[in-house]
Structure 1
Amino acid sequence: MTSNALLSIRAEQTRPFYVMELLARAAARAASLGPAVSMVVGEPDFPPPAPVIRAAQAALSKGDIHYTHALGMPELRQAIAADYARRDGLTIDPERIAVTAGASGGLLLTMAAILNPGDEVLMPDPSYPCNRQFVNAMGGVVRTIAVDAMTEFQPTADQVRRHWGPKTKALLVASPANPTGTMLSPASAASLAQAVRQLGGVLVVDEIYQRVVFEGAPKSLVSLG
């Protein structure tokens, strides 16, 4: 890699998001060879709900597109709190909810809120590639926990305790996970939460795919807090 004096060391050390290159190759292949089943990116294969489309069109027509509260529209935050109450039986103050540009925006802000330079974050390997960049961007250090089929591709409480060090600040997991798709069982999630709490750290959970499952209606791990 050629060094650029105008760029920070952080920027030069950031790895490309190769998934987008694979997506472009898949699209080019489909154009020449016909439709293909894409398993490249984590996005639904169905369009937005019709009421959402109508509401967006109405907002554009009314010119209701100005700056909102920094944490998101109060009405939206109230609706999110109501959704947690309806689906998970949780009472969450809307003032504790922040609306971000996707889960990645939320994770980046979370790392900014909890990390000081040199703090370590544990995460499973494999995991979503961008998660490492969020930690690195805040001067943190990623420590990976190797997972496999024996652990259902999720870290165990024992592994977390073994990998936890004096500089460790947090454990970052996802359920369902990307790229493996595996979910933390209620018992496993509870044991992870207990271990991290006893170690004096922060458990960060990415639940972006929580509603995209084949069976059941998994509860949010927010209930463990």
Structure 2
Amino acid sequence: MISKKMENMVANSSAIRAMFEEGNRLARIYGAENVYDFSLGNPNVPAPEAVKKAIMDLLNEEDPVVLHGYTNSNAGYEDVRQAVADSLNDRFGTAFSDRNITMTVGAAGGLNVILKALLNPGDEVITFVPYFGEYRSYVNNYDGVLVEISPDTATFQPKLDE
């Protein structure tokens, strides 16, 4: 019932996701308090008190329609995008504005949007080893080819002569 492409992706799922599933299995056996899962970047420790307070302040003080609604732009809130542009400009001497910035729901969402916009079937995407295992799936989603560049283990810089 599923496509051959998806069947292949599922058969070659990432080690990170397998570790996540193994962590869940071990937590059921030994108790979640005895398993530390860093596989997907999911924190399993409480947020700092300052973060909790900031969230509570937002819930208590902001307009619920604004707080729980969608952004007013597909690219994200203008003031947030401008703050990112200002930070980049201050740090790197660039001249970005909010029009150069798009906010996404995490790196995966951003990478998928960029790859969909840029890749044609067979285009190569270079990544430096080691890399997040899901990159191959992201590139494969748009029929690209992931090309790995190994690091020089003495300097951890990419070996560009490969």
TM, length-normalised to structure 2:
0.73
Which of residues 149, 158, 161 is equivalent to 2:161? 158
Q: CA deviation at 1:8?
A: 3.1
Q: Residue by residue, what CA displacement relative to the aligned partner does 1:71-120 show, whole Å, maximum 9, x if unpaired?
A: 11112212222332445554321101001110111111111121111111
Q: Percent identity of the aligned residues?
A: 28
Any residues of structure 2 matched to 1:60-139 within 5 Å, and which?
62-64=64-66, 65-68=68-71, 69-139=73-143
- Following the alignment from structure 1 to structure 2, what is the Cα–Cα distance between the partners of residues 86 and 47? 29
> Deviation digits for residues 10-42 of structure 1, max 9, x if unmatched?
322324244233224324435616534444233
Aligned to 1:9: 4
**Alignment RMSD:** 3.0
Show the counterpart of 1:41. 40
Give the gaps of 5 or more residues in structure 2: none
Structure 2: distance between partners of 1:98 and 1:89: 19
Which structure has the bigger radius of gyration? 2
For residues 151 and 43 of structure 1, the distance between their equivalents in structure 2, rounded to whole angstroms, comes to: 30
Contact 2:127 2:149 in 1 (8 A): yes
Question: How many angstroms apart in 2 are the aligned matches of 1:132 and 1:62?
Answer: 39
What are the superposed Cα offsets for residues 161-214 of structure 1, whole Å, 9 maximum, x if unpaired?
Answer: xxxxxxxxxxxxxxxxxxxxxxxxxxxxxxxxxxxxxxxxxxxxxxxxxxxxxx
CA distance in 2, matches of 1:91, 1:50: 35
Aligned-pair CA distance for 1:60: 7.2
Give ranges in structure 1 of 5+ residues lacking alignment. Answer: 160-225
Residue-by-residue CA offset, 1:113-157 (whole Å, 9 max, x unaligned)? 2111111112233311111111111111112223362352x4233
Partner Cα distance (2:98, 2:141) in 1: 28
Q: Which residue of 1 aligns with 2:148?
A: 144
Query: Does residue 20 of the first structure (1) align with residue 6 of the second (2)?
Result: no
- Counterparts of 2:60 and 2:159, CA distance in 1: 47
TM-score, normalisation: structure 1: 0.56
